Structure 1
Amino acid sequence: MFRTALRNVLAHKARLLMTVLAVLLGVAFVSGTLVFTSTVSDAFQRSSQKGFDDVDVAVTPVWSDSPSADPGRPARLSQGLLDRTAAVPGAARVTGDVSGFAAVAGKDGKLLGDGFSSQGHNYFPGKDGQDHRYPMRDGQAPTNPGEIALDAKTADRAGFHVGDTVRLSVDGPVRKEKLTGIFTTDDGNAAAGGSLTLFDTATAQKLYSAPGEFDQIQVKAAAGTSQAQLKDRIDAILPKDRAETTTGRKLADDQAKSIAESMSSMRTSLLVFAGIALFVGIFIIANTFTMLVAQRTKELALLRAVGASRRQVTRSVLIEAFLVGTVAAVAGLAAGVGIGAGMRSLMGSTGQSLPDGPLVVSPGTILTSLVVGIVVTMLAAWLPGRRAAKIPPVAAMNSVHATASPKSLVLRNTLGAIVSAAGAALVLLATGMGDGGKVPMGGGAALLLIGIFILTPLLSRPLIAAAAPVLRIFGISGKLARQNAVRNPRRTAATASALMIGLTLITGLTVIASSAQKAVDKMATDSLKADYVVSMVNKGPLSPDVATELADNPKVTASSPMRNAPARVDGDIEYLTGVNGKDLGKLTQLDFAAGSLDGLSSDKVVVDGDTAKQHGWHVGSTLTTTYEDGKRGRLTVGGVYEGNELIKGILLDTATLAPHQKDASDMQVMVKTAGGPSEATQDALAKALGNNPAIAVQDKKDVSEGIAQMVTLMLNVLYGLLAMAVIVAVLGVVNTLAMSVFERAQEIGMLRAIGLDRRGIKRMVRLESLVISLFGGVLGIGLGVFFGWAGGRLIADSLATYEMVLPWGRIAIFLALAAVVGVLAALWPARRAARLNMLGAIKAE
């Protein structure tokens, strides 16, 4: 039986090619994902471990959660504590670290990096005058205010040299600094395309903490002193509940674990789509083996007649599947290694460089790829093999088995109806369950997809029949195409289902994303009267000087900062948001359930409805408050408003909040201008702020796009990933048509003999492909719209302005895509059918 299976594989190489390609693509996606994520994870872990080579113990401040503690930021580490740490026996070298945000502008004035990985640190020279964390490649370290050093990758990327003047910002105002040095570093942010700027310690403390204070103290152990011993000695001198120690080994392990976890989520997401591609590939594999078995029915019947058992027949089909799966898996693994290397290079070409490191192809990746390819192929081939083995030899010789029995069709349709109904019911039930409905909805969606797949043969006849009036335009070719499409409903169903799954996911995600974008736009329009919102590009702290500069601008008619400050309110930690109470009504449109903005003054606050409900507050409630400086006060609720993603929380006047803040900073500043928003006004405001690359001046559209940016980015990534499933679906259509042409060779020969020309044959095959593809497209779009509506119901609970939007333009594009798939997939099979020798085809058995 093994020799028989091997001969069958070698005899049907062309027929199995599409199956090999389908499995190869799926396996390549799996192995490429594993290689890429393993490579990136290994590179970052190696880089982070290098960063901790000189750190044996790290001392960090602790945020006390004691009810009696002040709600402000944790106390930083003092110079005195650093000196005491340096005196601990076994401490060879002690480094005080201060860090924060530092956005660097290139020579073209644009921000270098993405802003979120732009960091600033202090240069802390030791007894030898060097900071071993940052060895200088060119020039010297900064020692005075107005001097900086840049990491080598940033300097080289921007074309900076020692002596150049560099524009940068840490919290808003532009600073012009002299570049005195360029250094090399293993810092992960710099290696990943960010920037790292060094200041002298006094300047860094002034910018990021306070004179004489550090964010962290790093200690290098002397020879003969272990990390654990050094940690115990430092613990003995630390103030209780104000600072804690961690060994360098644990820091490295925690960093490695954090990197592994972040890569794990990426790996999981990519593997989900690889699984979708493989799932779609199952239809192709099952289709292929079903047709191969059908074409060899008499051969299998002869095997049964000469003594082969059912088990042996099934085994021969599975051996074929094993051989095909092995070839496809090995080829897919090789392609996946190339994909992994390509993805890494692609990230580098987009400016998102990675730390140096080898390409990682682990034994687990190899084993996973081989197992996935072989198991998926054998599972898909098992049912056709089992079905072939159950056919009695005499019936097979007479082709009595060709048509499915009414009993099997009734059973299939009944099962499909039950599964579909259960899935739809579960999805509908989940829409009313809020956040807890995600898992039930996922399960219901899977059941509904499976149920529709089971029912697809039943649905194919009426839906394809609906296309009859259009097909009649093409004469006999159109009529034959429609009849061919419904001749074998199971095959048509399996082919259309592959495309249906891809379009279901794409359509559903598009409906949700379009609706969410519309909701965000509506929220920005409804709640913001301000013409512009000014903030840091990384959404970090913004200097109060920016709000002052904008308020004094002659083009500005009203402005208000939004300034967050931690406080203990009625015993719980809450964030107070300071605003300009006088101008807030000109800048926002808040819906009040009780009270109004008139209640926002002096010691009165307004609170969003969710916060008020959580604490049981109402208009007139008195809030006992401990500010971040430890001073106490009493605030009165003057209004309860409906919060949203733009404005929520406890709002009070900045005049009330400012006296309790040592280092005030704003989240953003809302601005109303004379004459309304315009490109000229926006440019004028940016110019007034020094054309600062670290500051974003955004109008309402920019604000809504910024909020929806992650949704849009995710959607574009998903489109790219789901394209794999569509490509596999195209292979399925090609495979089905090619096998169908082979099966109908005699029929095509007869059609040619009675007068249908080659052009008519090509048109017949193309129309059949088009009908099948559009059938899958209609089903996919219909299911996608349903799932988009259901998923939107879950989002609507947390996004008050959410309402379903049908993106008709994109839906039309998706349907056109299905048509294009049908046309392209038919090119080779149609050409092959037209080139058949009619006499040879008629004689074919």
Structure 2
Amino acid sequence: MLRTALRNVLAHKARLLMTMLAVLLGVAFVSGTLVFTSTISEAFHKSSEKGYSDVDVSIRQDSGDAPEGRDTVSPLSQRTLDGAARLPGTESATGVVSGFAALSDKDGKLVGEGFSSQGANYYAGGNGKGTDARYPMKEGVAPRERGEIALDAKTAERTGYKVGDTARMSVNGPVREEKITGIFRTDDGNVAAGGTLVLFDNATAQRLFAKPGEYTEIQLKAEPGVSQAALKERAEKILPEGAEAVTGKQLADDESRMIEDSMSGMKTSLLAFAGIALFVGIFIIANTFTMLVAQRTKELALLRAVGAGRRQVTRSVLIEALVVGAVAGLAGMAAGVGIAAGLRTLVGSMGSMPDGPLVIEPSSVVISLLVGVVITVLAAWLPARRAAKIPPVAAMGALHAPASTRSLVVRNTIGALLSAAGVVLVLMGTKMDGDSGKAPMGLGAALLLVGVFVLTPLLSRPLIAAAAPVLRLFNVSGKLARQNAVRNPRRTAATASALMVGLTLITGLTVIASGVQKGIDKMASASIKADYTISMANYTPLSPAVEKKLAQSDQVTATSPLRNAAAEVDGDTEYLTGVNGASIGKLTALEFTAGGWQGLDDGKRIVVDDSTAKAKGWKLGSSVQVAYDDGAKERLTVGGLYKGNEMIKGILVDNKAVTPHMDKVADMQVLAKTKDGAGAEVKDALTKQLGDNPAILVQDKKDISEGVSQMISILLNMLYGLLAMAVIVAVLGVINTLAMSVFERGQEIGMLRAIGLDRRGVKRMVRLESLVISLFGGVLGIGLGIFFGWAAGELIAGSGLDTYTLVLPWGRLGVFLALAALVGVLAALWPARRAARLNMLAAIKTE
């Protein structure tokens, strides 16, 4: 039986080619993901180790020491640094201070990745005359005084800056013009990932990112022969309150773990789409082996007649699947390595990852091969069982008996039950709040998808029959195409389902994205009257000088900074949002359920969103005890209750109340209203008023909406690209089904040719059959996608975006249906040509 199975594989190479391609694509996606993520993780891990190679112990603020929701001041002073330098076994001690620093290129555009735009100190020793081993100078000298900076070599190369040039930059809002005195090398992982690093002299960096004489971290290098653990133990004896000592090894491990955690989301997403492609491939594999078994009915029945048992026949088919899966798995693994290498080159060319070799872990190879083999064998198991049930007497017939009515009834009953359960769970999920509805909705979606797949043979007849009036226009070819499409409902179902899965996901994601975009547009227009919002490019705190600068413009009629301050409110830690009480009513359009903005500008009142007030038990006129971070306490009165949203919510109070108690005054954003309203000229005027600062975003409502729309479009395009794999696999499935159907119906096609159907008619018949099957899968997929999109939208609306609106993008849905039709046309090219070229006499003689 083993020899028989291997012989069948070699005898049916062409038939199994499409199956192998389907498995190969799925495995390539899996192996490519595993290899690519392993390569990135290893590259960043090595970069982390290299970056901390000169750090044996780090003294830093204890992350667990700060109360939740509070900002804390670094406890690391010059005194701590001097004490650490005198510790026995310490070769050197370096004070570190860093923070956000946006650099503009020569065209005035922001350099780097925004969040990776960092500034730090060049620590030249206690006397300011030494060198910082972390940043060896490639050209020029280190910054020594205010107004001087040094750039990392990669940023200098990207921007074209040289020593002696003047660069424009910003730390928290106002524009700074700094002279470049040096260009340095660094192993900093953020720089390797495409970010920027700007160095200031020690005093300037402390003033910008901390306080004079304070550091955010102190790094110690041990003398030869002194272990990291021993130096850490000594450092712990001089730690100020709220600080901790950590070894360099732990720092590198922690950073590597953070990188792996950040990579896990991408890895999971890529593997999920690989799983979708493999899931679609299961239909093709099962379909292929079902047709192979049907075509070899006589052969299998004769094997049974000469003594082969049912288990031997099952094993024979499974061995074929094992061989196909192993070969496809190996080829997919190799293709995946090529994909990973291409991705590494692409990402590396964008400067977003450090250099490093391609990492192929043994686990990646094993998992990829197992995926290929297991998926193929599982998909072939049902056809193998069906083959084992063929009675020996079937050898006397041409074909084995078709599926019984009872089996179809059982299938339809199971499909109806699964679909009903899925619909009920999905509807239940729409009625639940937030995260509680995700699990039932996800389970319901899976059950409904499987249920529809099981019901597809039943659904195929009425839906394909609906295309009869159009098919009649093609005369005999159209009539034959319709009859062929419904001749074997199970085969049609398996073929159409592969396309259905891909289009269900694509349609659902598109409907959700369109609804979210519409909801955000409505939220922006419903909650903000301001013409512009001004914030930092990476949404870090903004200097109060920006609001003062805006207020000086002739165009600006009203402004209000939004200023966050942590405080204890009735015993709980909360954030108060400071606003300009006199003008906030002109800049927002919040719906009040009680009270209003009146009296807010006296600094003794607050306005609160409904959900917060309900949770606290507050009503209009309630007295609230507030304790600020500086120890001051006062009682404030609830003067208004409003309906909050994702843009504005929480406790709002006049800045008179919070600003005196803030250690470092900073705004999250500024709202501004202009006399001429939003427009290109007004925006340009405001941008110039702020010094053409690349670190500051000046946005109107349209910009906010387009920013969200752009992010959604980028995400959708990425998802479309990933889901294209499932569509490609579905195309292979249609080609596979048609090719084997043509082979199966060779005698019939020969007879049709003999009685007058010409080659063009045969081609048209096969193409129309393919088109009908593809459109059938497309209609099912789009219908399910709309339903899932609506259900997910209801869940999103219940999770906070109450302005979410169901939007059916008819244009895109039409494109998806046209795509399904195109799949059918392209998939039929080769099978139709093959059918038309059959020798009619040879085909008629074929048994």
For 2:95, the aligned partner's letter is: G
Deviation at 1:64, TM superposition (A): 7.7
Please state if 1:215 is matched with 2:219.
no
Tell me the distance in 1 between the aligned counterparts of 2:780 and 2:557.
55
Match of 1:702 in 2: 703
Match of 2:362 in 1: 363
Please state if 1:628 is matched with 2:606.
no
C-alpha spacing 1:64/1:630, structure 2 compared with 1 (3 Å): farther
Match of 1:718 in 2: 719
Q: Tell me, yes or no, if the aligned pair for 2:763 and 2:835 is still in contact at 8 Å.
A: yes
1:673-700 CA distances to partner (integer Å, 9 max, x unpaired)? 1121111111111111111111111110
Q: Tell me, yes or no, if the aligned pair for 1:599 and 1:605 is still in contact at 8 Å.
A: no
Tell me the distance in 2 between the aligned counterparts of 1:314 and 1:115.
60
Please state if 1:809 is matched with 2:808.
no
Deviation at 1:425, TM superposition (A): 1.1
Match of 2:141 in 1: 140
1:707-726 CA distances to partner (integer Å, 9 max, x unpaired)? 45544433222111111101
Please state if 1:176 is matched with 2:177.
yes
C-alpha spacing 1:646/1:97, structure 2 compared with 1 (3 Å): same
Deviation at 1:491, TM superposition (A): 0.3
Please state if 1:477 is matched with 2:471.
no
Deviates more, 1:708-717 or 1:550-559: 708-717
Query: Residue 431 of structure 2: SS of its match in structure 1?
Result: coil
Match of 2:377 in 1: 378
Tell me the distance in 2 between the aligned counterparts of 1:623 and 1:706.
38
For 2:355, the aligned partner's letter is: D
Match of 1:79 in 2: 78
Q: Tell me, yes or no, if the aligned pair for 1:172 and 1:546 is still in contact at 8 Å.
A: yes
Match of 1:770 in 2: 771
Which residue among 825, 834, 837 is the counterpart of 2:836? 834
Deviates more, 1:356-365 or 1:703-712: 703-712
Q: Tell me, yes or no, if the aligned pair for 2:596 and 2:639 is still in contact at 8 Å.
A: yes
Tell me the distance in 2 between the aligned counterparts of 1:611 and 1:228.
48
Tell me the distance in 2 between the aligned counterparts of 1:276 and 1:809.
25
For 1:453, the aligned partner's letter is: F
C-alpha spacing 1:37/1:498, structure 2 compared with 1 (3 Å): same
1:146-204 CA distances to partner (integer Å, 9 max, x unpaired)? 11111111110111111111111111111111111111111111000110111001111
Q: Tell me, yes or no, if the aligned pair for 1:78 and 1:213 is still in contact at 8 Å.
A: yes
Q: Tell me, yes or no, if the aligned pair for 2:66 and 2:72 is still in contact at 8 Å.
A: no
Q: Please list every run of 5 or more consecutive structure 2 residues that lacks an aligned counterpart in the other structure.
A: none
1:371-428 CA distances to partner (integer Å, 9 max, x unpaired)? 1001111111111111011010112431463321111111111111111111111111
Match of 1:419 in 2: 418
Match of 1:404 in 2: 403
Q: Tell me, yes or no, if the aligned pair for 1:280 and 1:725 is still in contact at 8 Å.
A: yes
For 2:275, the aligned partner's letter is: G
Tell me the distance in 1 between the aligned counterparts of 2:268 and 2:71.
38
- Report runs of 4+ in structure 1 exceeding 4 Å deviation: 63-67, 69-72, 707-710
Deviation at 1:92, TM superposition (A): 1.6
Tell me the distance in 2 between the aligned counterparts of 1:309 and 1:151.
73
Tell me the distance in 2 between the aligned counterparts of 1:726 and 1:383.
24
Query: Residue 289 of structure 1: SS of its match in structure 2?
Result: helix
Deviation at 1:658, TM superposition (A): 1.9
Tell me the distance in 2 between the aligned counterparts of 1:239 and 1:619.
46
Q: Tell me, yes or no, if the aligned pair for 1:530 and 1:587 is still in contact at 8 Å.
A: yes
Tell me the distance in 1 between the aligned counterparts of 2:94 and 2:474.
82
Please state if 1:149 is matched with 2:150.
yes
Match of 2:508 in 1: 508
Deviation at 1:655, TM superposition (A): 2.3
Query: Residue 400 of structure 2: SS of its match in structure 1?
Result: helix
Deviation at 1:72, TM superposition (A): 4.5
* Corresponding residue pairs, total: 842
For 2:28, the aligned partner's letter is: A
Tell me the distance in 1 between the aligned counterparts of 2:351 and 2:474.
53
Q: Tell me, yes or no, if the aligned pair for 2:300 and 2:390 is still in contact at 8 Å.
A: no
Deviation at 1:603, TM superposition (A): 1.4
RMSD of equivalent CA atoms:
1.6
1:725-782 CA distances to partner (integer Å, 9 max, x unpaired)? 0110010001101111111111111111111111111111111011000000111111
Tell me the distance in 2 between the aligned counterparts of 1:16 and 1:157.
50
Superposed, which structure 2 residues align to 1:672-691 within 5 Å?
Answer: 672-691=673-692
Q: Tell me, yes or no, if the aligned pair for 2:122 and 2:143 is still in contact at 8 Å.
A: yes
Query: Residue 340 of structure 1: SS of its match in structure 2?
Result: helix
1:302-347 CA distances to partner (integer Å, 9 max, x unpaired)? 1111111111111111111111111111110000001011112222
Tell me the distance in 1 between the aligned counterparts of 2:69 and 2:3.
81
Query: Residue 576 of structure 1: SS of its match in structure 2?
Result: strand
Deviation at 1:239, TM superposition (A): 2.7
Match of 2:277 in 1: 277
Match of 1:572 in 2: 572
Deviation at 1:218, TM superposition (A): 1.2
Tell me the distance in 2 between the aligned counterparts of 1:361 and 1:130.
40
Tell me the distance in 2 between the aligned counterparts of 1:79 and 1:154.
31
Match of 1:820 in 2: 822
Q: Tell me, yes or no, if the aligned pair for 1:535 and 1:668 is still in contact at 8 Å.
A: yes
Superposed, which structure 2 residues align to 1:275-424 within 5 Å?
Answer: 275-349=275-349, 351-399=350-398, 401-424=400-423
Please state if 1:111 is matched with 2:110.
yes
Tell me the distance in 2 between the aligned counterparts of 1:770 and 1:674.
59
What is the TM-score with the length of structure 1 in the denominator?
0.98
Q: Tell me, yes or no, if the aligned pair for 1:62 and 1:75 is still in contact at 8 Å.
A: no
Deviates more, 1:613-622 or 1:17-26: 613-622
Query: Residue 379 of structure 1: SS of its match in structure 2?
Result: helix
Tell me the distance in 2 between the aligned counterparts of 1:78 and 1:608.
41
1:798-823 CA distances to partner (integer Å, 9 max, x unpaired)? 11111211111111111111111111
For 2:572, the aligned partner's letter is: D
Deviation at 1:66, TM superposition (A): 8.3
Q: Tell me, yes or no, if the aligned pair for 2:76 and 2:240 is still in contact at 8 Å.
A: no
What is the TM-score with the length of structure 2 in the denominator?
0.97
Match of 2:548 in 1: 548
Deviation at 1:352, TM superposition (A): 4.4
Superposed, which structure 2 residues align to 1:621-660 within 5 Å?
Answer: 621-660=622-661
Q: Tell me, yes or no, if the aligned pair for 2:277 and 2:726 is still in contact at 8 Å.
A: yes
Tell me the distance in 2 between the aligned counterparts of 1:70 and 1:211.
25
For 1:583, the aligned partner's letter is: S
Tell me the distance in 2 between the aligned counterparts of 1:783 and 1:354.
40
Tell me the distance in 2 between the aligned counterparts of 1:773 and 1:63.
57
1:623-671 CA distances to partner (integer Å, 9 max, x unpaired)? 2222233322222211111111111121111222222223211111111
Query: Residue 561 of structure 2: SS of its match in structure 1?
Result: strand
Match of 2:427 in 1: 428
Please state if 1:94 is matched with 2:93.
yes
Q: Tell me, yes or no, if the aligned pair for 1:137 and 1:184 is still in contact at 8 Å.
A: yes
C-alpha spacing 1:685/1:786, structure 2 compared with 1 (3 Å): same
Tell me the distance in 1 between the aligned counterparts of 2:746 and 2:132.
79
1:443-499 CA distances to partner (integer Å, 9 max, x unpaired)? 111111111111100000000000000111111111000000000000000000000
Match of 1:745 in 2: 746
Tell me the distance in 2 between the aligned counterparts of 1:624 and 1:219.
45
For 2:372, the aligned partner's letter is: G
For 1:47, the aligned partner's letter is: S
Q: Tell me, yes or no, if the aligned pair for 2:55 and 2:248 is still in contact at 8 Å.
A: yes
Match of 2:665 in 1: 664
C-alpha spacing 1:831/1:246, structure 2 compared with 1 (3 Å): same
Superposed, which structure 2 residues align to 1:576-615 within 5 Å?
Answer: 576-601=576-601, 602-615=603-616
Deviation at 1:12, TM superposition (A): 0.9
For 1:177, the aligned partner's letter is: E
C-alpha spacing 1:705/1:610, structure 2 compared with 1 (3 Å): farther
Tell me the distance in 2 between the aligned counterparts of 1:62 and 1:194.
26
Tell me the distance in 1 between the aligned counterparts of 2:423 and 2:518.
27
Deviates more, 1:220-229 or 1:421-430: 220-229
For 1:108, the aligned partner's letter is: D
1:773-794 CA distances to partner (integer Å, 9 max, x unpaired)? 0000111111111111111111
Q: Please list every run of 5 or more consecutive structure 1 residues that lacks an aligned counterpart in the other structure.
A: none
Deviation at 1:358, TM superposition (A): 0.6
Tell me the distance in 1 between the aligned counterparts of 2:816 and 2:640.
48
Match of 2:236 in 1: 235
For 2:419, the aligned partner's letter is: S
